[in-house]
């Protein structure tokens, strides 16, 4: 029998040796858990909402771990979440996300809360090619940067303006509001406010003259006096008062609005209106018939489906409490990431990113389906739900009709008094 | 005409608020030459104090004024005795006092976060949204009350400064502390009292603000900035100048809406601040009443 040449023998021996050496290494590299990282504003200006997001993330992780872990390929892996406090500041949010990726070696990132923090922090995910799913950054400009690894479960604020106008349009067509109707559009000078304004303005531009914007004014955050601004609204004699404000400005402005004896056929402060804190600060009689649009409401849980399952899960852990949209969107962001990981069957970041891009998931959000349209920067486009405060202290969903839990009242009966 | 009256009334009411916020800052600077960066924190603490007294004990915010003023006065005296008096005097103490009092503010803010969380709070009374018809325009009862207090406060302060032994001592120390020591005035005691009075005025401003605005532990930073503008416009250390400067600032800000977008009106005050610092560094009125 002819002997093999010596160089070939040496090469085969080297390969066999390499194979022996690499076998334990390959076994060690096999993942034993899904490691997620997130920062949240647990202290500082956004601490209240940061706490709500924490509840949502933890709920999602606990749920999947109670079920034996997350299905990744043929195995179920436990999920671990490393959560850090970004103190509501951009610099900390960015540096901690960098630490999570490069030091703690997390597999994927969940987002922090508030548009300005997410705008800064999401660059870390993009630079390191780590999928980053958030439910707290609604400003559209975040998603217009061509990022491939950024995904948002939170619909753009533009849609809030559009949804409010759709409800108003239904009322106008039913003869409950004048045609044409004059609008006072008052918005905070932030990305949130600008998106709101765009939603309303675009709708008005396409309304064929059914609406005109008589006052278009922005204001600085944390205003101390809205007297002059409201004077302008009063002088314009408008029918609809549509504002976009954060809670402190809503309280200050609406107190002045009521004290100035103003009343309009439709009054809205964008996403504000049905909060317990606002009702306590302003008094039920002063917030009756105020409309608000929110990303999610626990009332969606009145019908069987993911929203009901979430409400039950939340109340199982926090008895006596109702979840708000903050917890719901945080929970849904984690769930979307879990779904993409399971579909990818591995922790490969690129594979998971691709699955997120094509994801179509049954969701607790209005509309019932979550997807991240690539042409809109991977930002979900689920509709808002419109709620209206009523004198019986409830704030039922009045729009869209398929989610409605109550009947809308228009025009504002307070103005008749 | 109706629009003009609306704006004028709005400006006067806003001036009341600005003046109330700025008196304490002006007084402390006038006597101690210390820029009290903890002023914003005390405004926030005053708001929470009023909220707790109203929410837990049912005390009307205006009836709780004496208690809030007294407690803030005590806090101010304690701050001076424990912290501020250890600072070097004169120019050398400037940066140190800024850092120290900024630290005090951070401590106050974080204590509030611990005690009350970051939730927005507000004081609501039966008259929170009530108004009176004045010159054909609706005037909020709360803002009117703040205006009245803003007018009464400097009057009382002037009475104290001009017609009491302590007041005369405060004015004398503001002019020349070393000479006062030579003639037997207890300068440290006067400093303590002045810091207490200034802090009490900040607490009062916080309480009054809480009847109008919602607040959280971050409350006070915007108020501190406005107070700075008012105090510098009025002339550092001038109590009456502070009141007039508050009116000037409010009139300019409110009437600016006739020519500027609403979101830019609050920037007008800062533009005025820069102009005054460049062209009239002593303030619009150029002299100090205390001095």
Closest Cα in chain A to B8? A228
The predicted-structure confidence for B196-214, as pLDDT tens digits, reads as follows 999 999 999 999 999 988 8
Chain B hits for A222, Cβ within 8 Å: 222
Q: Is the pLDDT of residue B236 over 70?
A: no
Question: Does residue A18 surpass a pLDDT of 70?
Answer: no
Confidence of residue A294 (pLDDT cuts 50, 70, 90): very high
Domain ranges of chain B: 2-114+132-279
Q: Is the pLDDT of residue B261 over 60?
A: yes
DSSP A366: T
- Average pLDDT over chain A reads 91
Name the pLDDT band for A55 (thresholds 50, 70, 90): very high
Tell me the chain B residues in contact with residue A234 when contact means C-beta distances shorter than 8 Å. Answer: 6
Q: What is the mean pLDDT of residues B31-48?
A: 93
- Dihedral angle sign, alpha carbons of residues B189, B192, B195, B197: negative
Interface test with A, best of B1, B113, B124 (most A CBs within 10 A): B124
Above pLDDT 90, what percent of chain B? 41
Contacts of B216 in chain A (CB under 8 A): 45, 248
B117 and A CB contact within 8 Å? yes
**pLDDT digit string, tens, across residues A79-90:** 999 999 998 899
CATH architecture group of domain A34-155+302-376: 3-Layer(aba) Sandwich (3.40)
Q: Does B153 touch chain A (CB under 8 A)?
A: no
The count of CB pairs under 8 A between chains A and B is 124
Note if the bond before A154 is cis, omega within 30 degrees: no
Contact at CB, B129 and A228, closer than 8 angstroms:
no
Domain A158-294+385-416 belongs to what topology? Rossmann fold (3.40.50)
Question: Who contacts A87 (Cβ-Cβ below 8 Å, separation ≥6)?
Answer: A41, A42, A43, A44
Residue A23 has pLDDT above 50, yes or no: no
**Assigned architecture for domain B2-114+132-279:** Orthogonal Bundle (1.10)
Nearest residue on chain A to B106, alpha-carbon basis: A44
Place of tokens 């004699």: A237
H-helix or E-strand spanning residue B134: strand B131-134
Q: Assess whether pLDDT exceeds 80 at residue B28.
A: yes
What residues contact residue A81 under an 8 Å CB cut-off, 6+ apart? Answer: A36, A37, A38, A57, A58, A61, A110
Using the Cβ of A216 and the Cβ atoms of chain B, whether some distance falls under 8 Å is answered with no
Q: Return residue ranges of chain A for CATH 3.40.50.2300.
A: 34-155+302-376, 158-294+385-416
Q: Which of A220, A256, A282 is nearest residue B263 as measured by Cβ atoms? A: A220
Q: How confident is the model at residue A24 (pLDDT cuts 50, 70, 90)?
A: very low
- Interchain CB distance below 8 Å, A227 and B13: yes
Question: Cβ–Cβ of A282/B124 closer than 8 Å?
Answer: yes
- pLDDT in the model for residue A151: 98
Torsion angle, alpha carbons of B69, B73, B79, B81, to 10: -170
pLDDT at A67 exceeding the cut of 60: yes
pLDDT of residue A26: 44
Sign of the alpha-carbon dihedral angle for B247, B249, B250, B256? positive
CA angle A253, A258, A259 (to 5 degrees): 95
Residues 6+ apart with CB under 8 A from B132: B138, B139, B141, B144
Would the pLDDT of A400 be above 50? Answer: yes
Q: What percent of chain B has pLDDT over 70?
A: 95
pLDDT value of residue B92 = 55
CA neighbours within 13 Å on the CB side: how many for A251?
26
Residues B220-249, mean pLDDT to the nearest whole number = 85
pLDDT (tens digit per residue) in A28-37: 468 899 999 9
Say what the pTM is.
0.80
Question: Average pLDDT, stretch B23-37?
Answer: 89
* Per-residue confidence band for B140, with pLDDT thresholds at 50, 70 and 90: confident
Least confident of A140-154, A391-405, B83-97, B233-247: B83-97
State the CB neighbour count (10 A cutoff) for residue B278. 8
pLDDT, mean of residues B130-157: 86
Helix (H) or strand (E) holding A80: strand A79-85
Give me the residues of B, 213-252, that contact A with CB < 8 A: 213-216, 218, 222, 226, 250
Within 10 Å of residue B222's Cβ, how many Cβ atoms?
Answer: 19
When pLDDT is averaged across residues B183-191 and rounded to a whole number, the result is 93
Residues 6+ apart with CB under 8 A from A271: A157, A160, A244, A292, A293, A294
Q: Span A390-397, mean pLDDT?
A: 93
Tell me how close the Cα of A184 comes to any Cα of chain B, in angstroms. Answer: 13
When pLDDT is cut at 50, 70 and 90, the band that residue A376 belongs to is very high
């Amino acid at each position: 029998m002819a002997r093999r040449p010596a160089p070939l023998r040496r090469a085969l021996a080297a390969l066999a040796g390499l194979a022996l050496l690499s076998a334990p290494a390959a076994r060690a590299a096999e993942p034993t858990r899904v490691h997620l990282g997130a920062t949240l504003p647990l202290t500082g200006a956004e601490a209240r909402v940061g706490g709500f997001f924490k509840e949502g993330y933890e709920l999602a992780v606990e749920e999947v771990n109670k079920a034996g872990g997350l299905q990744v390929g043929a195995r179920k892996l436990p999920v671990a979440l490393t959560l850090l406090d970004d103190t509501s500041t951009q610099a900390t949010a960015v540096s901690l996300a960098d630490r999570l990726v490069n030091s703690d070696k997390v597999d994927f990132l969940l987002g922090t809360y508030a548009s300005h923090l997410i705008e800064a922090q999401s660059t870390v995910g993009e630079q390191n090619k780590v999928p980053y799913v958030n439910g707290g950054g609604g400003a559209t400009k975040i998603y217009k940067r061509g990022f491939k690894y950024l995904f948002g479960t939170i619909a753009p604020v533009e849609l809030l303006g559009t949804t409010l106008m759709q409800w108003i349009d239904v009322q106008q067509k039913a003869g409950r509001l004048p045609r044409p109707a004059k609008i006072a559009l008052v918005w905070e000078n932030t990305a949130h406010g600008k998106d709101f304004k765009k939603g309303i303005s675009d709708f008005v531009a396409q309304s064929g003259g059914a609406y005109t914007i008589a006052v278009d004014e922005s204001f600085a955050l944390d205003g101390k006096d809205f007297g002059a601004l409201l004077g302008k609204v009063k002088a314009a004699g408008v029918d609809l008062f549509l504002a976009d404000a954060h809670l402190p400005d809503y309280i200050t402005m609406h107190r002045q609005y009521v004290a100035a004896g103003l009343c309009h056929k439709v009054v809205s402060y964008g996403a504000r209106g049905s909060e317990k804190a606002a009702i306590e600060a302003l008094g039920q009689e002063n917030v009756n018939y105020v409309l608000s649009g929110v990303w999610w409401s626990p009332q969606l849980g009145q019908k069987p489906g993911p929203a009901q399952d979430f409400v039950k899960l939340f109340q199982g852990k926090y008895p006596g409490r109702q979840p708000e949209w903050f917890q719901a969107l945080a929970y849904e962001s984690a769930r979307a990431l879990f779904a993409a990981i399971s579909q990818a069957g591995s922790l490969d970041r690129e594979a998971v990113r691709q699955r997120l891009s094509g994801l179509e998931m049954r969701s607790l959000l209005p509309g019932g389906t979550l997807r991240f349209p690539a042409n809109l920067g991977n930002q979900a486009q689920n509709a808002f739900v419109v709620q209206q405060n009523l004198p019986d202290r409830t704030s039922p969903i009045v729009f869209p009709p398929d989610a409605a839990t109550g009947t809308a009242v228009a025009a504002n009966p307070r103005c008749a008094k | 005409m109706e629009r003009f009256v609306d704006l004028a009334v709005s400006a006067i009411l806003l001036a009341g608020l600005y003046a109330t916020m700025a008196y304490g800052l002006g007084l402390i600077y006038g006597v101690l030459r210390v820029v009290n960066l903890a002023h914003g924190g005390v405004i926030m603490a005053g708001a929470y104090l009023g909220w707790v007294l109203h929410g837990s004990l049912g005390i009307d915010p205006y009836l709780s004024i004496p208690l809030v003023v007294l407690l803030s006065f005590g806090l101010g005296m304690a701050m001076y005795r424990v912290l501020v008096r250890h600072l070097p005097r004169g120019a050398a103490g400037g940066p140190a006092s800024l850092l120290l009092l900024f630290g005090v503010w951070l401590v106050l803010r974080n204590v509030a976060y611990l005690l009350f969380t970051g939730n927005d709070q507000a004081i609501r009374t039966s008259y929170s949204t009530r108004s009176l018809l004045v010159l054909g325009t609706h005037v909020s009862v709360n803002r009117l009350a703040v205006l009245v207090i803003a007018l009464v406060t400097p009057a009382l302060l002037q009475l104290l400064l001009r017609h009491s032994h302590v007041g005369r001592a405060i004015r004398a120390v503001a002019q020349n502390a070393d000479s006062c020591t030579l003639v037997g005035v207890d300068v440290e005691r006067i400093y303590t009292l002045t810091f207490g009075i200034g802090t009490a005025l900040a607490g009062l401003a916080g309480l009054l603000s809480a009847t109008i605005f919602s607040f959280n532990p971050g409350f006070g930073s915007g108020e501190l900035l406005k107070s700075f503008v008012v105090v510098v416009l009025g002339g550092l250390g001038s109590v009456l100048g502070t009141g007039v400067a508050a009116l000037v600032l409010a009139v300019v800000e409110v009437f600016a809406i006739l020519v500027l977008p609403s979101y830019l009106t609050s920037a007008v005050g800062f533009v005025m601040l820069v102009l005054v610092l460049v062209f009239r560094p002593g303030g619009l009125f150029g002299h100090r009443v205390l001095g």
